C-alpha cells in the first residue's frame, strides 16, 4: 500500500519501526525478525494467511517465499481476515494433513503453478504430484492493489489431463 499498515500505528506513531532500522539497532532487528535467520529454519513450514487481513497485503508472501529454505507450503483462507474467522474447518484439516506428513515422513503433494495473461483475462494452470482431483480458483477485484475490503469468490477449476486450469475474465 506504500506505507505501514494502520494496524501497527501503536509502533509507528512512537517511531519504533524507524528506530529499529537505524544502524545501532540492526543487531536487535536481526534477532527479532525470523527472516533474518531463515537459513536455520530447515524444518517443513506451513504459512497460513487470511485474505482481507488489515495487517498484511494479500501478496506479502511474494516478498519472502523464494528465500525460505526447505519444504514449504501455503494456505490462504479466503475472506477470513487476520483472525481467520470462518475458516476453522479448512485450517484444522490443513494443519492435520501437515502435521501428519511431518510426523510420518510422508510427502505432501508437490504443487506447481503457472499464471499469465490471455485474451480477455488471466489464466492459472496447476500441476500436482499426485495428480489433483479437483480445485477452486479464488479471485477478487479491486480498483487499486488494496484488497483488504474486496470479497474473494471461487470458481471450480477444470481438469485437463493431469492439470487443473482456471480462467479469470477481465
CA dist., res. 11 & res. 14, Å (int): 6
Can you list the positions of beta strands (E) in the chain? 45-50, 72-77, 110-118, 121-129, 136-139, 153-156, 158-160, 163-169
Q: What is the mean pLDDT of the chain?
A: 91
Model confidence at 29, in pLDDT bands (50, 70, 90)?
confident
C-alpha cell at 41: 529454519
C-beta separation of 49 from 75 below 8 A: yes
Residue range 142-160: average pLDDT? 93
- Give residue 170's pLDDT: 83
Residue 61 has pLDDT above 80, yes or no: yes
Average pLDDT over residues 37-66: 92
Work out the average pLDDT over 53-59.
88
pLDDT for position 1: 59
For residues 72-93, average pLDDT: 96
pLDDT for residue 21 is more than 80: no
Amino acid at each position: 500500500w506504500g506505507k505501514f499498515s494502520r494496524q501497527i500505528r501503536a509502533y509507528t506513531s512512537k517511531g519504533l519501526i524507524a528506530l529499529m532500522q537505524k544502524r545501532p539497532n540492526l543487531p536487535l532487528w536481526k534477532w527479532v525478525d525470523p527472516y533474518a535467520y531463515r537459513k536455520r529454519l530447515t524444518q517443513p513450514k506451513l504459512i497460513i494467511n487470511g485474505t482481507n487481513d488489515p495487517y498484511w497485503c494479500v501478496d506479502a508472501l511474494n516478498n519472502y517465499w523464494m528465500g525460505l529454505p526447505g519444504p514449504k507450503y501455503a494456505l490462504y483462507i479466503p475472506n477470513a481476515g487476520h483472525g481467520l474467522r470462518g475458516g476453522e474447518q479448512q485450517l484444522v484439516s490443513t494443519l492435520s494433513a501437515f502435521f501428519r506428513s511431518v510426523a510420518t515422513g510422508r510427502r505432501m503433494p508437490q504443487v506447481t503453478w503457472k499464471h499469465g495473461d490471455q485474451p480477455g483475462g488471466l489464466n492459472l494452470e496447476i500441476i500436482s504430484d499426485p495428480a489433483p482431483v479437483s480445485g477452486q480458483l479464488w479471485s477478487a477485484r479491486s480498483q487499486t492493489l488494496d484488497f483488504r475490503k474486496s470479497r474473494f469468490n471461487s470458481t471450480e477449476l477444470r481438469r485437463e489431463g493431469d492439470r487443473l486450469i482456471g480462467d479469470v475474465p477481465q
